[in-house]
């Protein structure tokens, strides 16, 4: 659209528009933060679960080391190191890790639904028992 301050002709040129052939700095930071959050989720899991996830040993060691650190600043720096190690993983390795974590969450949902079913059955039994006592 022509600039109304330049008259009818207007200056229209794509000469000064920049074209980037790489991701922006903000996009790279978003990806780094997402990988660091994935690392944080792994750190929050029990050690035996983390040991079973198929990933390179250096990443696994960094995660297990971070689980042992109690100092706030030391843990924060180790978490950044875990994020750096996670960036070295390929897309396939990251997908495998994500699938493993998703299966843990799915298992938890299945356990919760089974517990709810058990609670409903117990409640029904209590209600039936109360009716038996009432009529006897």
Please write the tens of the pLDDT for every residue from 97-123.
988 888 887 766 677 788 888 888 888
CA distance 36 to 79: 7
CA distance 50 to 57: 11
Please name the residues in contact with 56: beta carbons below 8 A apart, sequence gap of 6 or more: 89, 93
Give me the pLDDT at residue 119, please.
Answer: 87
Q: Average pLDDT for residues 46-53, to the nearest whole number?
A: 91
Q: By the 8 A CB rule, do 75 and 66 touch?
A: yes
Q: Are 84 and 122 within one domain?
A: no
Q: Are 32 and 64 within one domain?
A: yes
Structural domain of residue 119, as residue ranges?
Answer: 107-136
Please say if the pLDDT value at position 63 is more than 80: yes
Please name the residues in contact with 8: beta carbons below 8 A apart, sequence gap of 6 or more: 2
* Residue 129 resides in a domain: yes
In this prediction, residue 21 has a pLDDT band, given cuts at 50, 70 and 90, of: confident
Among the residue ranges 57-61, 76-80, 84-88, 109-113, the one predicted with the least confidence is 109-113
> According to DSSP H, which parts of 1-136 are helical?
25-43, 47-52, 57-68, 72-87, 91-135
In the chain, how many domains are there? 2
Q: By the 8 A CB rule, do 67 and 43 touch?
A: yes
Q: Are 48 and 80 within one domain?
A: yes
Give me the pLDDT at residue 12, please.
Answer: 60
CA distance 68 to 72: 12
Residue whose pair of structure tokens reads 């006897």 in the numeric block: 136
Give me the pLDDT at residue 1, please.
Answer: 54
In this prediction, residue 11 has a pLDDT band, given cuts at 50, 70 and 90, of: low
């Amino acid at each position: 659209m022509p600039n109304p301050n330049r008259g009818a002709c207007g200056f229209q040129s794509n000469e000064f528009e920049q074209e980037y052939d790489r991701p922006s700095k903000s996009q790279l930071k978003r990806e780094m933060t997402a990988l660091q959050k994935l690392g944080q989720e792994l750190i929050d899991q029990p050690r035996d679960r983390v040991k079973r996830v198929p990933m390179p040993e250096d990443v696994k060691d960094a995660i297990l080391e971070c689980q042992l650190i109690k100092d706030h600043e030391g843990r924060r720096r180790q978490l950044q190191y875990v994020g750096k190690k996670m960036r070295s993983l390929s897309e396939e390795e990251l997908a495998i890790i994500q699938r493993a974590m998703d299966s843990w969450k799915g298992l938890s949902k299945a356990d919760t639904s089974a517990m709810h079913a058990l609670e409903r059955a117990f409640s029904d039994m209590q209600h039936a028992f109360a009716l038996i006592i009432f009529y006897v």
